[in-house]
Chains A and B, each alone.
Chain A
């Protein structure tokens, strides 16, 4: 895989201030999920503004797709069509008088033809689950809806990299989880995702890689497990480890658990505590909603008579249209696995690449020594 974004010894200081970034170098591969984690004032936002050329490094270089950013008008337009930036404050980002015109802003300024603009805008609004909201003025939207519009505005430009500054800040937990699911869905479609956060729980469970920064320097770049199990790193970066890892390390210290791999999620933790289950009786049924209609959705639910979840925007919409009430709308796979371990079945409506994600997650659980959970595709 190729490196889609590369920082090489980047230094930057705002006028009259100590450096915000001090020799930052890292690379990220195409299609990865990177979380930039660090305390307030660590330089997270500065780093993100470097990604689309808004800030120019004092020294060092930023490369996108292996090419240097050219800081002239044409070069910046080029970069900004490839790197989409979602601001922390949606009110700063959404400036047009209606949802449609705001999402259309980017494509229109790329001078695409009207039909292309229209199809991109409809796709983007649909992807974030706001179909029917096109004519709404932004001040009639909730915080979560504004964030979705902000993301749609970037999606409509079809960037290679989506950069989001604190995407879940000031959202309620369920909305935050849904936004993260949405980002997963985009990543599934091939977009590289970079986000900044100081929410360690989120970074731990979501990211492929974590870039830990403090005081404008990179403290560590590695897997979430490496970063969050290192107490001295946590201390330096003014962070607390995720509750799950905290619990795990305390168990290990007391000799209650063999020093295994740190648990990725609650299912692994339960496995570590309880040991392996003898007979796992629960099954996870997955359904590809792209190949069935709404009546079939209802028929399957009636047949299986178990807890139902949907993952992804299209499946959720199909379930909504079928008048189905969902038991799970976010964090579904882990919940389904936990249910399977205590002998309950779960039905997951999803589509495309996310079907494989269910299998991958279950496989990951098995590889960590967990029980084999049956995943049946209907």
Chain B
């Protein structure tokens, strides 16, 4: 039956999702076809691929990681292209800014293009600066795409068990769970306050913007405080004695995924070794 019976209580979901709806990443992860792959394996894949990509001295390995992670996210995890692209625009802005700075502030090698000379400084692009900028950009995106792969296939709830398995303190995990839960409550609160402000003409001028935004943040702080007291009361009402259960995950205990991930990571290491040697 699996969730069919619920006494006429449906939550209406809008058809169109954008990254600005508060829980789109969570939705994607929960409905992901790769959800059943054990979270620890996906976490290892994500971290190892990122580290290997960053170690690479040339652009080819990060590009390979980048492309394979995009393939995995779009084809294997079936993430809608539109959402994936809009997710990528966030790091793109930061990545490009950094790359442009690197392009001009580092030097060496042949000059490719000389813009102008200012007070004895050459504002120019050299082949080394171009290479470095490209490499940094590729590494950034290889890391981001690996992280996105983890994000869109792994619900946060299934990571709590991994945290326990690596022996993080119980208190830390309990706090993580509470924080995860209340992120969504406070996003909702922030949206409500923001709407109430916009409805009454807030944010119309720069000065208004400053005062309205400061009001929003201070109000949010007070709300979080109050909510914290409510939670404490609620936990005590249910006999809190230091126990919080971890969510159960029905992951498939299959070696198939482990083998695939191992093969992929081995391939990366081989490419890395080749790059280092050649």
A residues contacting B by CB (< 8 A) are 52, 54, 76-77, 80-81, 84-85, 87, 89, 91-98, 100-101, 104-106, 108-111, 129-142, 144-145, 148, 153-154, 157, 174-175, 178, 313, 316-317, 320-321, 329
- Residue contact B231 to A92, C-beta cutoff 8 Å: yes
B237 at the interface (CB under 8 A from A): yes
- Residue contact A142 to B10, C-beta cutoff 8 Å: yes
B5 at the interface (CB under 8 A from A): yes
Docked pose: A320 CA to B234 CA in angstroms: 34
Question: Given A157-B239, A321-B5, 13 other A-B contacts at CB below 8 A?
Answer: A87-B230, A92-B231, A95-B235, A101-B177, A110-B239, A110-B241, A132-B5, A133-B6, A136-B3, A137-B155, A139-B26, A142-B9, A174-B8
Q: Min CB distance, A108 to chain B, in Å?
A: 4
B-chain residues with CB within 8 Å of residue A93 when the two chains form the complex: 234
Task: From known contacts A101-B246, A320-B4, infer whether A85 and B180 are also in contact, taking CB-CB under 8 Å.
Answer: no
B185 at the interface (CB under 8 A from A): yes
Task: From known contacts A92-B227, A109-B243, infer whether A321 and B238 are also in contact, taking CB-CB under 8 Å.
Answer: no
- Residue contact B231 to A95, C-beta cutoff 8 Å: yes
Q: Min CB distance, B129 to chain A, in Å?
A: 46
- Residue contact B182 to A132, C-beta cutoff 8 Å: no
Q: Min CB distance, B201 to chain A, in Å?
A: 27
Task: From known contacts A109-B238, A109-B240, A157-B238, infer whether A320 and B245 are also in contact, taking CB-CB under 8 Å.
Answer: no
Docked pose: A323 CA to B6 CA in angstroms: 13
Task: From known contacts A109-B238, A137-B157, A320-B4, infer whether A104 and B230 are also in contact, taking CB-CB under 8 Å.
Answer: no
Q: Min CB distance, B154 to chain A, in Å?
A: 13
Q: Which residue of B lies closest to A98 (CB)?
A: B247
Contact residue among A54, A77, A317 (Cβ-Cβ distance under 8 Å from B233): A54
A-chain residues with CB within 8 Å of residue B205 when the two chains form the complex: none
- Residue contact A80 to B237, C-beta cutoff 8 Å: yes
Docked pose: A175 CA to B182 CA in angstroms: 25
Q: Which residue of B lies closest to A144 (CB)?
A: B9
Interface residues of B in 199-221 (CB under 8 A from A): none
As a 0/1 sequence over residues 153 to 171 of chain B, the CB contacts with chain A under 8 angstroms (1 = contact) are 0011100100000000000
Docked pose: A174 CA to B7 CA in angstroms: 10
Q: Min CB distance, B215 to chain A, in Å?
A: 22
B-chain residues with CB within 8 Å of residue A97 when the two chains form the complex: 156-157, 160, 177, 180-181, 247
B-chain residues with CB within 8 Å of residue A52 when the two chains form the complex: 237
Q: Which residue of B lies closest to A94 (CB)?
A: B181
Q: Which residue of A lies closest to B10 (CB)?
A: A142
- Residue contact B244 to A101, C-beta cutoff 8 Å: yes
Docked pose: A313 CA to B188 CA in angstroms: 31
B-chain residues with CB within 8 Å of residue A130 when the two chains form the complex: 6
- Residue contact B239 to A109, C-beta cutoff 8 Å: yes
As a 0/1 sequence over residues 220 to 259 of chain B, the CB contacts with chain A under 8 angstroms (1 = contact) are 0000000100110111111111111111111000000000
Docked pose: A13 CA to B148 CA in angstroms: 53
Q: Which residue of B lies closest to A126 (CB)?
A: B5
Is chain B's interface secondary structure helix, strand, loop, or mixed overall? loop
- Residue contact A178 to B245, C-beta cutoff 8 Å: no
Q: Interface size bucket, B side?
A: 35 or more
Docked pose: A317 CA to B227 CA in angstroms: 35
Docked pose: A153 CA to B238 CA in angstroms: 8
B275 at the interface (CB under 8 A from A): no
Task: List 26 contacting pairs A-B, 8 Å CB cutoff, sorted by A.
Answer: A76-B236, A92-B230, A93-B234, A95-B181, A96-B247, A97-B177, A97-B247, A100-B245, A100-B247, A100-B248, A101-B247, A106-B238, A108-B244, A109-B240, A109-B241, A109-B242, A110-B239, A111-B241, A129-B6, A132-B4, A132-B5, A132-B6, A133-B6, A138-B181, A139-B188, A157-B238
- Residue contact B5 to A129, C-beta cutoff 8 Å: yes
Most B C-beta atoms less than 10 A away, residue of A105, A134, A139, A175: A139
A-chain residues with CB within 8 Å of residue B240 when the two chains form the complex: 105, 109
B-chain residues with CB within 8 Å of residue A106 when the two chains form the complex: 238-239
As a 0/1 sequence over residues 1 to 18 of chain B, the CB contacts with chain A under 8 angstroms (1 = contact) are 111111111110000000
Docked pose: A316 CA to B230 CA in angstroms: 34
B-chain residues with CB within 8 Å of residue A154 when the two chains form the complex: 238
B191 at the interface (CB under 8 A from A): no
Docked pose: A139 CA to B177 CA in angstroms: 13
Contact residue among B5, B23, B177 (Cβ-Cβ distance under 8 Å from A140): B23
- Residue contact B2 to A132, C-beta cutoff 8 Å: yes
Docked pose: A17 CA to B55 CA in angstroms: 65
B94 at the interface (CB under 8 A from A): no
A-chain residues with CB within 8 Å of residue B48 when the two chains form the complex: none
B-chain residues with CB within 8 Å of residue A108 when the two chains form the complex: 243-245
A-chain residues with CB within 8 Å of residue B181 when the two chains form the complex: 94-97, 137-139
Q: Which residue of A lies closest to B27 (CB)?
A: A140
Q: Min CB distance, A192 to chain B, in Å?
A: 17
Q: Min CB distance, B15 to chain A, in Å?
A: 17
Q: Min CB distance, B184 to chain A, in Å?
A: 4
Q: Which residue of A lies closest to B179 (CB)?
A: A97
Q: Min CB distance, A173 to chain B, in Å?
A: 12
Q: Min CB distance, A59 to chain B, in Å?
A: 23
- Residue contact B7 to A178, C-beta cutoff 8 Å: yes
Q: Which residue of A lies closest to B235 (CB)?
A: A95
Task: From known contacts A96-B244, A137-B157, infer whether A329 and B230 are also in contact, taking CB-CB under 8 Å.
Answer: no
B178 at the interface (CB under 8 A from A): yes
B-chain residues with CB within 8 Å of residue A133 when the two chains form the complex: 3, 6
Docked pose: A81 CA to B157 CA in angstroms: 28
